[in-house]
Amino acid sequence: MSRIYIIDDDDAVRESLSMLLRSEDFNVSAFGNPLDFLSKVVELEDGIIILDLCMPEISGMQVMEQLKLLHITMPVICITGHGDIPTAVKALKIGAYEFLEKPFDSTMLIDIVNTCIADRVNTQHIDAFNNNAEEVIGSLTPREHEVLKGMVGGLRNKQIAYDMDISIRTVELHRVHVMEKLNAKSLSDVLKIAIASGFNYVDIPTLTDT
């Protein structure tokens, strides 16, 4: 039974997620205060961290930074109410395993948690994914590259269409092709692959900006 650590300052979210994951037979420890979690984390057994990015005392991003400094390699699933793409890109770049925008379908969270556990068992998969990323990105046409750049930059289809001076329909078509080539199910997948490939269009704002 894997252990899951939930860090969210919102009582309702924290408790409901705890109950949800417990109902799925996970061992859940919940922390309302991220500093409290950070102070104990080195002694905690290995598990998966579900982290709210928007908290008053210390942001989720900073928590991830601290974890890195403490050499904690537990995977982090980020959840946030402000689900904009730059935030997602930033989180993924820092090393988040996954990014989820509130409100989310709870089955999706459970799926992610399960996938994460599986990935930890089979690390080869991750390596393969990383090795594959560069190759896959390289297979994109220049147009698809442009569209990907827009997607990673958090632009809406309409804006991408405007920037490239093509119709929205064409953008949508390119987008579908990109998703297919990258074998991505979500924007999050696309971002992960792009980041893994070292995709140089992914401009990450510095942490202090947040």
Partner 1 sequence: MSSRITLCSTNNEQLLNYLNLNLSAGVFIEHIDTIEDLYVRIENNYGVPDILVLGIKVQEPIRIAEHTHVISKSTKIIIFCEHGQELTIQESIRFSPFLSSGVSTYKYISKEEFANLLQKKVNGIEKQRNHISTIAEVEKDRRASITNQPLVANYLYKLLDRVSISIGILNVDSKGKILNLNPRAQRLLKHSERKLVGTYIFNLFPENNSLEIKALIEEVVKTNNLRHNSTMVCCFNGPSGSQYFEMTISILTHTAIEPILNIILQEVTLKVQEESKRLVIENALHQSEQQLKLVINAIPELIAYVDHDLKFQFNNKAYEKWFGLTREEIIGRNIWEVIGNRSYKIVEHYVKRAISGETVTFEEKVNYPRQGEVFIRSSYVPNFSESGEVTGFVVLTSDITQLKRDEDIEKKHMLELAHTSRMITIGEMSSQLAHELSQPLTSIEAYSRACITLIEKDKTTKAEILQALKSVSSQAIRAQEIMHELRNFVKKDDSRKNICVNELIKSAIKLLRLEFQENDPDIELKLISDLPFVFADRIMIEQILINLIKNAIEAMRSIAVSDRRLVIESSSSTNNEVAVSVQDSGPGLTQYEINKIFEPFYTTKPEGMGMGLAITRSIIHSHGGNLVVDLNSHGGTTFKFTLPVTDIEFIGG
Find the shortest distance in angstroms from Cβ 110 to partner 1: 8
8 A C-beta contact, residue 8 and residue 59: no
Using the contact rule CB under 8 A, the part of the chain among 20-28, 34-42, 187-195, 201-209 near partner 1 is 20-28
Site string for partner 1, 162-201 (x = CB under 8 A): x-----x---------------------------------
Site for partner 1 contains 27 (CB under 8 A): no
Positions 87 through 146 that interact with partner 1 (CB under 8 A):
101-107
* Number of residues counted as binding partner 1 (CB under 8 A): 26
Using the contact rule CB under 8 A, the part of the chain among 12-20, 35-43, 89-97, 175-183 near partner 1 is 12-20
Distances (CA, A) of 153 to 2, 98, 111, 138: 35, 18, 27, 19
Query: Among residues 68, 125, 158, 169, which is the contact residue for partner 1, using CB under 8 A?
Result: 158
Contact set with partner 1 (CB under 8 A): 10, 12-13, 15-17, 19-20, 22-24, 54, 79, 81-82, 101-107, 158, 161-162, 168
